Homo-oligomer: A and B are copies of this chain.
Amino acid sequence: MRATVIHGPHDIRIEEVPDAAIRRPTDAVVRVLNACICGSDLWAYRGVAARTAGQRIGHEFLGVVEETGAEVRGVRAGDLVVAPFVWSDGTCEYCVQGLQTSCPHGGFWGEAGSDGGQGEAVRVPFADGTLVKLPKEAASDEKLLPGLLALSDVMSTGHHAAVGAGVRPGATVAVVGDGAVGLCGVLAARRLGARRIIALGRHAARTDIARGFGATDVVAERGEAAVEAVRELTGGQGAHCVLEAVGTEESMRTAISITRDGGAVGYVGVPHGGSAGVDIGQMFGRNVSLNGGVAPARAYIPQLLPDVLSGAIDPAPVFDRTVDLDGVPQGYRAMHDRSALKVRIAL
């Protein structure tokens, strides 16, 4: 079969690789219908996150179950399924609790020895614990597929930020970051009943999506000027709930600074560099909380799925380009140079 392989910084190739195959009785093989490229894949692409030459890549996909191991009960050949960005056994204490990202038997698609999502097929460990079934008819619904695909990571991650920030009906929310996760955070905040949603971002194409997702205000400034602008919009107090969807020192500092006393930052931006802007001295006197981390998408997909199917939320607009498998290297380039927000791969 063919799959995306990373050989080094800026060196993404489509290559012939061994066919995905059942290795353990709890495995399934999924034929990929749709995958996508994540902002976090760019850290590997840019050489910031280390990868071994020849490693697979991609952690977001949906597709059709092709084959299942002898012990798999929850899915069968022919089922349409979506995978969260980590696999998990579904039975350990953490999985039962809904924190599947801490499953001791879990792993991340594309890690050494595993298949990546950006390929024709994927061997899925712990299929029962990992995969979530979708209605079969969605497989041919081009309007619905992108939204379902977003559940694998960005929509679930945006939701995790909103949950971490404590978004509730009537809350004033600010979202730091206008990437796909930040935009999904806007959508998640609206879904949870936020009254006012301030999106921080400088790219009109992206903040237009934010407005479509429910943002009531847009702040184009950065750093101190952004803090000023949000304070001005909130009577000097800041936002009850702030979603941090970037992960840099500056974005975290901004997020904490624009949080109202007693409020919370929901952090989901993969942190880059030490304490990444967390100044506990700044948080202490104002009782600012910090909740979040890597999103347990597996717990959220069943919660969000009905709303995607009903059309109550549609994260599809975060995909602004579609390529086939051969177009993946070009897709990375487009996201790297910011000419694309998020690239969908239709196989």
Contacts and interface: CB of A to CB of B under 8 A. Distances in A.
Contacts of A261: 94, 99, 102
A284 to B, nearest CB: 5
Bin chain A's interface residue count. 20 to 34
A104 to B, nearest CB: 9
Contact of A267 (B164, B277, B280): B280
A289 B286 contact: no
A271 B280 contact: yes
Interface of A: 94, 97, 99, 101-102, 164, 252, 261-262, 264, 267, 270-271, 274-281, 283-294, 296
B289 A294 contact: no
B267 A94 contact: no
Contacts of A94: 261-262
29 contacts: A94-B261, A94-B262, A99-B261, A102-B262, A102-B287, A252-B280, A264-B291, A270-B284, A271-B284, A274-B279, A274-B280, A274-B281, A275-B275, A275-B278, A275-B279, A275-B280, A276-B281, A277-B280, A278-B278, A280-B290, A284-B292, A284-B293, A285-B293, A286-B293, A287-B294, A288-B293, A289-B289, A289-B290, A291-B291
Identical copies in the complex = 2
Nearest to A97: B262
Contacts of A294: 284-285, 287
A26 to B, nearest CB: 23
Nearest to A288: B293
Nearest to A264: B291
Contacts of A267: 280, 284
Contacts of A285: 101, 293-294
Contacts of A276: 280-281
Nearest to A160: B287
Nearest to A235: B93
Contacts of A277: 280
Most buried by B among A278, A284, A287: A287
A3 to B, nearest CB: 26
A99 B240 CA distance: 13
A11 B4 CA distance: 70
A259 to B, nearest CB: 11
A86 to B, nearest CB: 10
Query: Which 3 pairs between the two chains have the least Cβ-Cβ distance?
Result: A287-B293, A275-B275, A102-B261
A164 to B, nearest CB: 8
